[in-house]
């Protein structure tokens, strides 16, 4: 009986992972490659578990794909900007300070409701930076409507949503590594 939990869990993971539109992954891969060729960087941001995903993906993009990538997980940056500008505005202000014209912004929010992430999305749009969003829960969440490329996981379970976000982003990295090896 107890093993049925894990069977169901991994069946959900498998089904959700396969639900992605592969054309969107290819589009994101092309955008990342174009950003690299134009000397831009990838800025990737999330809260909590999504921040951990942002760190992992930024490191892999930098090390394995050789594209400059940053995230804003430095405690002093978070606390300084949250204190000075308000928690809801820290992502927006970080983009003000760190984003350049040829950059891409990737924002991750399981619920798509995080005000700091939504304000960051609005800033990326204002700056005319390509915006990629990864969300879950309700398909009608605010963040899922803002990106140039939007990825959505049909689940309201944090660990399912976050696992799929990480899988999709890491699959893009592996795709780019594979493409580079064929050149």
What is the pTM (predicted TM-score) of this model? Answer: 0.95
Domain count across the chain: 1
Degrees to nearest 5, angle at CA 148 with 108 and 42 = 55
Whether 91 is covered by a domain: the verdict is: yes
Whether 52 is covered by a domain: the verdict is: yes
d(CA 183, CA 179) in angstroms, rounded, equals 7
Whether 115 is covered by a domain: the verdict is: yes
Whether 75 is covered by a domain: the verdict is: yes
pLDDT in tens, 32-86: 999 999 999 999 999 999 999 999 999 999 999 999 999 999 999 999 999 999 9
Helices 49-65 and 22-37 cross at an angle (nearest 10°) of 60
**What is the extent of the structural domain holding 64?**
29-182
Band of residue 183 on the pLDDT scale cut at 50, 70, 90? low
Whether 92 is covered by a domain: the verdict is: yes
Question: The domain spanning residue 54 has which CATH number?
Answer: 3.40.50.10490
Residue 28's closest CA among 81, 85, 98, 104? 104
Whether 18 is covered by a domain: the verdict is: no
Band of residue 180 on the pLDDT scale cut at 50, 70, 90? confident
d(CA 165, CA 133) in angstroms, rounded, equals 10
Q: Which tokens go with 75? A: 């405690």
Whether 8 is covered by a domain: the verdict is: no
Asked if 42 contacts 172 with a C-beta cutoff of 8 angstroms, the reply is no
Residue 91's closest CA among 51, 137, 136? 51
pLDDT at position 179 is: 85
Whether 11 is covered by a domain: the verdict is: no
pLDDT at 181 over 80: no
pLDDT at position 135 is: 98
């Amino acid at each position: 009986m107890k093993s049925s939990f894990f069977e169901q869990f991994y069946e959900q993971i498998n089904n959700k992972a396969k639900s992605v539109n592969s054309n969107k992954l290819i589009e994101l891969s092309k955008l990342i490659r174009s950003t690299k060729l134009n000397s831009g960087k990838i800025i990737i941001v999330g809260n909590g578990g999504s921040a951990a995903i942002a760190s992992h993906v930024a490191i892999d993009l930098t090390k394995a794909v050789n594209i400059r990538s940053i995230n804003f997980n430095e405690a002093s940056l978070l606390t300084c900007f949250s204190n000075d500008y308000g928690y809801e505005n820290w992502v927006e202000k970080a983009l003000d300070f760190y984003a350049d014209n040829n950059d891409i912004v990737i924002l991750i929010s399981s619920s798509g409701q995080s005000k700091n992430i939504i304000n960051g999305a609005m800033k990326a749009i204002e700056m005319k930076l390509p915006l990629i969003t990864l969300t879950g829960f309700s398909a009608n969440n605010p963040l899922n409507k803002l990106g140039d490329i939007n990825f959505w996981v049909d689940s309201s379970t944090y660990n399912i949503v976050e696992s799929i976000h990480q899988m999709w982003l890491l699959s893009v990295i592996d795709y780019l590594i594979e493409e580079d090896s064929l050149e």
